[in-house]
A and B are shown apart, each in its own frame.
Chain A
Amino acid sequence: NAGVTQTPKFQVLKTGQSMTLQCAQDMNHNSMYWYRQDPGMGLRLIYYSASEGTTDKGEVPNGYNVSRLNKREFSLRLESAAPSQTSVYFCASSAGLGLLSPLHFGNGTRLTVT
């Protein structure tokens, strides 16, 4: 059972470079999310997709774009990376937006921007 798969696991970028973080889930979940985790700050929601074809901003969307490519895949793009985007990024999915739909997390992508 793969669950939520994120690639890559690690990435180093220079300021101004762009990249896309990939996420795929095999649980037939409707909703998908991107969070970033910074020391002492918990997880903060960047963007989420309630269902295929929809995306919404979360708490910290600036500097990011997302694409819900299909039901399985939800990508996060950094168009021009900045050192402030150094973080661990987690993708998550859930069956729906209902409050009892637990989030299933991937193992994270550790991104460093120099």
Chain B
Amino acid sequence: GEDVEQSLFLSVREGDSSVINCTYTDSSSTYLYWYKQEPGAGLQLLTYIFSNMDMKQDQRLTVLLNKKDKHLSLRIADTQTGDSAIYFCAESMSPDTGRRALTFGSGTRLQVQP
């Protein structure tokens, strides 16, 4: 079955880079996503990567995918206090069936210290 794992906590200083890591087990994953959850709010899509890509960059965000090792990372450059949140990795399931449901990791809480 599918399983997505993340470390629970990361603390960085403002201005440093943050790297949040994720491992997944479903080799048939087609898309992998990063969502951000701020306190008291729902999840917001940050970025996604297609499984045939190695890297995707979007402003301060860089997503790296190592499909061989089933490892996904999110790098946030010049981390700001507003980046403090919980970050969820998610993978798509069974695209051939037409079903659309994501498997989420348990989330990584990013704390940015001024």
Q: Chain A interface (Cβ within 8 Å of chain B)?
A: 4, 31, 33, 35, 40-45, 48, 50, 56, 58-59, 90, 92, 94, 96-108
Contacts and interface: CB of A to CB of B under 8 A. Distances in A.
A100 B104 CA distance: 16
Contacts of A31: 100
A99 B100 contact: yes
A14 B42 CA distance: 26
Contacts, number: 64
Interface residues on B, range: 20 to 34
7 shortest interchain CB distances as A-B pairs: A105-B42, A97-B100, A42-B104, A43-B104, A102-B45, A42-B106, A105-B43
Nearest to A108: B42
Interface of B: 4, 8, 30-31, 33, 35, 40-45, 48, 88, 92, 95, 98-102, 104-107
B100 A98 contact: yes
A98 B31 CA distance: 11
5 contacts: A48-B101, A50-B99, A102-B33, A103-B45, A108-B42
B43 A33 contact: no
Contact of B44 (A42, A100, A105): A105
Given A92-B42, A103-B45, A106-B42, A45 B101 contact: yes
A97 B98 CA distance: 7
